[in-house]
Amino acid sequence: MVRAPCCEKMGLEKGPWAPEEDQILTSYIEKHGHGNWRALPKQSGLLRCGKSCRLRWINYLRPDIKRGNFTIEEEETIIKLHEMLGNRWSAIAAKLPGRTDNEIKNVWHTNLKKRLLKSDQSNSNPNSKRATKPRIKRSDSNSSIITQSEPANLNFREMDTTSACTSSSDFSSVTVGDSKNIKCEDIESLETMPVIDESFWSEAAIDETPTMSSQSLTISNEMPLQYPFANYEESFQQSHAYDSNFDDGMDFWYDIFTRTADSIELPEF
DNA sequence: AAGCGTAGCAACCGCCATTAT
DNA sequence: AATAATGGCGGTTGCTACGCT
């Protein structure tokens, strides 16, 4: 069954939100919450579909939203999480308080992806010119602008001890359980790596496959991520230049595993 | 100063997963 | 169990400001 788009009903507004609409939505949610997005527009008097209201609230009006340019630390985090998760923007956003999946997706496509690509190219061609000056973020009366230092001077690949294995400019999605994707030849002790196949991510499979001792996870088409579950902290540090800005790395994996497989026993650190 | 191309970002669309009936 | 309703996510689009010539 394919449903018609929710905004197809006659008379519903589309496009940019007017300040008055923002006001109505904000005050309605502050008073009544948003139990039912579909019913919200009708109850609040907005001529918008529920989906549009939800998006506006989540991406723009929410009080805990952090506006302004991304900090260097945030960008590093996005890059690293993207290496691990692929285009799972909501999962990445969950690790960046105040940032939305949409915002992260935008900054990835408009900024970070190109920067990584340039970085890779300049690594292969040391004589190539540096990145051009970045644009200043559009001013926004609602924003607290965070001044961004010169990103052209950054080379994230230089921080990656497995740079020989990283061709990360064109990740599509997390691919799992396909050892044919492993192209990096200088990764040590692959046989010690746990393999996670598709079934790992489904809760239904947990009872059937409670151990993962002989499995591994491939993160992109080209780059395998290694983290033996028995000692994945050390492995993570070795393969991803684990630094002080990423101290929550273990929390991150813990979140992933506990959310996905409550019954799996996690190693103690 | 004007025109044009591009980057950045908000918003939409379509699909899938989950929940309710 | 089947179907419908709803929420959520990722991909994509279109508008606008910016930067270059």
Question: Model confidence over A83-113: pLDDT tens digits?
Answer: 889 999 999 999 998 899 999 999 998 888 7
**CA(A86)–C1'(C12) in Å?**
18
- A218 forms beta bridges with A224
Question: Which among A170, A174, A171, A162 is positioned nearest to A91, based on CA atoms?
Answer: A174
For residue A39, pLDDT over 60 is answered with: yes
pLDDT at A91: 92
Rounded Cα distance, A249 and A261, in Å: 18
pLDDT at A134: 42
**CA(A39)–C1'(C13) in Å?**
27
Which of residues A111 and A127 earns the better pLDDT score?
A111
* A197 and A215 Cβ atoms separated by less than 8 Å: yes
Residue recorded with tokens 């990835």: A108
* A110 and A102 Cβ atoms separated by less than 8 Å: no
What value does the mean pLDDT of chain A take?
58
> Confidence class of residue A57 from pLDDT cuts 50, 70 and 90?
very high
pLDDT at A52: 92
* C-alpha to C-alpha distances, A73 to A149, A195, A230, A247, nearest whole angstrom: 11, 30, 29, 12
Start-end ranges of CATH 1.10.10.60 in chain A? Answer: 12-61
DSSP 8-state secondary structure symbol assigned to residue A198: G
Q: Report, as an integer, the average pLDDT of A226-242.
A: 35
For residue A230, pLDDT over 70 is answered with: no
User: Does the C-beta of A260 come within 7 A of strand B?
Assistant: no
pLDDT at A148: 34
Which of residues A135 and A67 earns the better pLDDT score?
A67
* A69 and A137 Cβ atoms separated by less than 8 Å: yes
Kindly report the bases of strand B lying within 7 A of a protein C-beta atom: 7-16
pLDDT at A67: 81
Distance from first CA to last CA of chain A, Å, rounded? Answer: 48
* A228 and A211 Cβ atoms separated by less than 8 Å: no
Query: Superfamily for A12-61?
Result: Homeodomain-like (1.10.10.60)
Which amino acid, A176?
V
E strand or H helix that includes residue A238: helix A232-240
DSSP 3-state of A168: helix
- CA angle (A80, A148, A71) in 5-degree steps: 35
E strand or H helix that includes residue A218: strand A217-218
Residue recorded with tokens 């230092």: A149
Which of residues A196 and A85 earns the better pLDDT score?
A85
Question: Which among A194, A226, A197 is positioned nearest to A212, based on CA atoms?
Answer: A194
pLDDT at A24: 92
User: Does the C-beta of A17 come within 7 A of strand C?
Assistant: no
Q: Report, as an integer, the average pLDDT of A128-149.
A: 37
User: Does the C-beta of A88 come within 7 A of strand B?
Assistant: no
DSSP 3-state of A44: helix
> Among A105-109, A176-180, A251-255, where is mean pLDDT lowest?
A176-180
DSSP 3-state of A224: strand
> Confidence class of residue A120 from pLDDT cuts 50, 70 and 90?
low
pLDDT at A66: 85
> Confidence class of residue A35 from pLDDT cuts 50, 70 and 90?
confident
pLDDT at A145: 31
pLDDT at A53: 93
User: Does the C-beta of A87 come within 7 A of strand C?
Assistant: yes
Handedness of CA A200, A205, A209, A210 (dihedral sign): positive
Rounded Cα distance, A93 and A91, in Å: 5
User: Does the C-beta of A146 come within 7 A of strand B?
Assistant: no
pLDDT at A104: 93
